[in-house]
């Protein structure tokens, strides 16, 4: 075991997690439970990257003492979700998640299947992991500052961290779990790491043996969701997809699947806008916007097959499939717009995923229009309500028409207040009635 002296623990732990972790550490010492920070958080902490989620290993203790530990750490009102079949539980704290697991080992019944887990030692638990840099553990105990805390490194995790390398523990690692290739691409893109020679060879063997065919669409989709969600923690799906393409993983998922060069700039813009939003981004799914951009240059049949392979169905699948065509239409309409009201008419029909993907596709001038609309105009309330229109004797379909026209005029600055809005509504009503009168003889002639 390599021991690695570390400075005080809580320097990079987000504020809202620091207190629960301190309490957990104290409670674990009181209860005689050995608790370890493990995996991603240790890796990120050593790389001085911000911690997002916390993974903890509980090395001993019985169900009662573990329940006491959790209660002392998170308080009795914390929402703890237990997953007894995996020996794990998780607690949401603000935007973060703490996962606690007991020590386990894993066995893969067949390549690509979910592992069967059973109790194990710390060594089992660390060596079942994907990459050596994810197999580091840091004991959490009340040190009082005298005792240095040391990282437990059973493989070559610390060296690999220094050399920016993803190393697997054994040559059949990707056979056991081919989704590790997607994790590798995501981590490599996020951290600027590369695969070790052994990992490359293990991946080639898994591809040759058709291991990817055994992975369910649900598992693949979950990995792609993570890949695109990585934008929020400094990840780069655009680069991860290039890795997967170069490693021949995409083609193993679906023949012909690749990353077209023309999707790279839009994907990079998506990464940027999600990392530093230009407007108050509403509820969205980065992976849907990401799939729209990644797949839109590919042929429609390939898009369809890929979505089916990833188990993307229903409305989401339709949106991703149609994006290429819809996006061209939105861009054409946006180019032809005069005034903010017209932009509103085009963009109001998009959901947030489509808006993000459209933004990432457009040229700078149109991007500015999208940002101005999303940041300033879309939440604008017009000074006239449907009730005002009913009181002004408008009813039926003309109410909708009038509201849309008033909204456009208000955003364009042509209508400044309720009175002017109502005047425009009366004018619309007058014209609509004149129109009906004008059509009457013709309608009558038809009878
Ligand atoms: N793990 C694994 N194989 C998988 C999934 C996970 O070996 N297919 C291991 C990894 O060692 C990982 C740990 O389980 O560190 C926890 O998984 P997860 O929370 O998904 O990974 P993190 O590394 O914590 O998160 P991220 O990669 O997003 O930073």
Q: Is the pLDDT of residue 2 over 60?
A: no
* 169-210 residue pLDDT tens: 999 999 999 999 999 999 999 999 999 999 999 999 999 999
**Average per-residue pLDDT for the chain:** 89
Band of pLDDT at residue 11, cut at 50, 70 and 90 = very low
The residue whose CA has the least distance to atom 13 of ligand 1 is: 39
Q: Is the pLDDT of residue 444 over 50?
A: no
Residues 232-256: tens digit of each pLDDT? 888 999 999 999 999 999 999 999 9
Q: Strands 5-6, 80-83: parallel, antiparallel or unpaired by DSSP?
A: unpaired
Length of the chain: 447
Residues 291, 303 contacting (CB under 8 angstroms): no
Report which ligand 1 atom has the smallest distance to the Cα of 99: 19
Quick check: 180 and 115 in contact, CB under 8 A? no
Is ligand 1 within 6 A of the CB of residue 179?
Answer: yes
DSSP label at residue 364? H
State how far the Cα of 260 lies from the Cα of 295, in Å rounded to an integer.
8
Pocket test for ligand 1, best of 130, 215, 220 (most atoms within 8 A of CB): 130
What is the domain partition of the chain in residue ranges? 1-163, 386-436
**CATH homologous superfamily for 1-163?**
Beta Polymerase, domain 2 (3.30.460.10)
| pLDDT tens for each residue of 331-370 | 999 999 889 999 999 999 999 999 999 999 999 999 999 9
> Ligand 1: does its nearest atom lie under 6 Å from the Cβ of 176?
no
pTM beyond 0.85, yes or no = yes
Distance CA 53, CA 280 (A): 24
Q: Assign 148 a pLDDT band (cuts: 50, 70, 90).
A: low
Is residue 299 over pLDDT 80? yes
**Ligand 1 centroid from CA 41, angstroms:** 10
What confidence tier does 145 reach under pLDDT thresholds 50, 70, 90? Answer: low
Which pLDDT band holds residue 65 (cuts at 50, 70, 90)? confident
Burial 230-253 (b: 16+ CB within 10 A, else e): bbeeebbbbbbbbbbbebbbbebb
Burial string for 153-186 (b: 16+ CB within 10 Å, else e) reads: bbbbbbebbeeebbbbbeebbbbbbbbbbbbbbb
Q: Where residue 61 falls among pLDDT bands split at 50, 70, 90? A: confident
Per-residue pLDDT band for 144 (boundaries 50, 70, 90) equals: low
Please state, in angstroms and rounded to a whole number, the distance separating the CA atoms of residues 74 and 80: 9
């Amino acid at each position: 075991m390599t021991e690695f002296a570390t400075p005080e623990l809580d320097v990079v732990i987000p504020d809202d997690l620091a207190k629960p972790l301190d309490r957990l550490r104290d409670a674990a010492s009181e209860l005689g439970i050995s608790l370890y920070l493990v995996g991603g958080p240790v890796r990120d902490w050593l790389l001085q990257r911000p911690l997002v989620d916390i993974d903890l290993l509980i090395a001993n203790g019985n169900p009662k003492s573990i329940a006491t530990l959790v209660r002392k750490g998170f308080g009795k009102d914390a929402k703890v979700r237990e997953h007894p079949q995996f020996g794990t539980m998780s607690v949401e704290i603000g935007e973060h998640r703490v996962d606690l697991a007991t020590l386990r080992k894993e066995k893969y019944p067949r390549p690509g299947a979910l592992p069967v887990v059973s109790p194990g030692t710390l060594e089992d638990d660390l060596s079942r992991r994907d990459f050596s840099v994810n197999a580091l553990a840091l004991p959490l105990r009340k040190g009082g500052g005298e005792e240095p805390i040391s990282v437990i490194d059973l493989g070559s995790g610390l060296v690999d961290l220094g050399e920016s390398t993803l190393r697997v523990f054994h040559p059949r690692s990707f056979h056991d779990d081919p989704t590790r290739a997607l994790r590798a691409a995501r981590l490599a893109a996020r951290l600027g790491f590369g695969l070790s020679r052994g990992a490359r060879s293990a991946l080639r063997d898994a591809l040759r043996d058709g291991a990817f065919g055994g992975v369910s669409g649900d598992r693949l989709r979950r990995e792609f969701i993570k890949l695109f969600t990585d934008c929020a923690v400094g990840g780069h799906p655009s680069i991860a997809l290039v890795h997967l393409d170069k490693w021949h993983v995409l083609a193993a998922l679906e023949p012909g699947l690749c990353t077209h060069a023309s999707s790279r700039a839009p994907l990079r813009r998506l990464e940027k806008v999600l990392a530093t939003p230009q407007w108050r981004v509403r509820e969205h799914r980065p992976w849907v916007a990401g799939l729209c951009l990644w797949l839109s240059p590919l042929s429609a049949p390939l898009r369809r097959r890929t979505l089916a392979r990833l188990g993307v169905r229903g409305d989401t699948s339709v949106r991703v499939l149609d994006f290429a065509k819809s996006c061209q239409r939105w861009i054409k309409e946006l180019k032809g717009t005069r005034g903010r009201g017209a932009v509103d008419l085009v963009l109001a029909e998009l959901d947030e995923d489509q808006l993000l993907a459209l933004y990432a596709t457009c040229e700078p001038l149109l991007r500015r229009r999208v940002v101005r609309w999303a940041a300033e105009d879309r939440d604008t309330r017009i000074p006239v309500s449907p009730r005002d229109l009913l009181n002004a004797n408008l009813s039926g379909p003309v109410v909708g028409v009038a509201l849309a026209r008033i909204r456009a005029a208000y955003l364009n600055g042509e209508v400044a207040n309720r009175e002017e809005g109502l005047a425009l509504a009366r004018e619309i009503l007058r014209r609509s009635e004149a129109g009906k009168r004008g059509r009457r003889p013709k309608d009558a002639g038809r009878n």
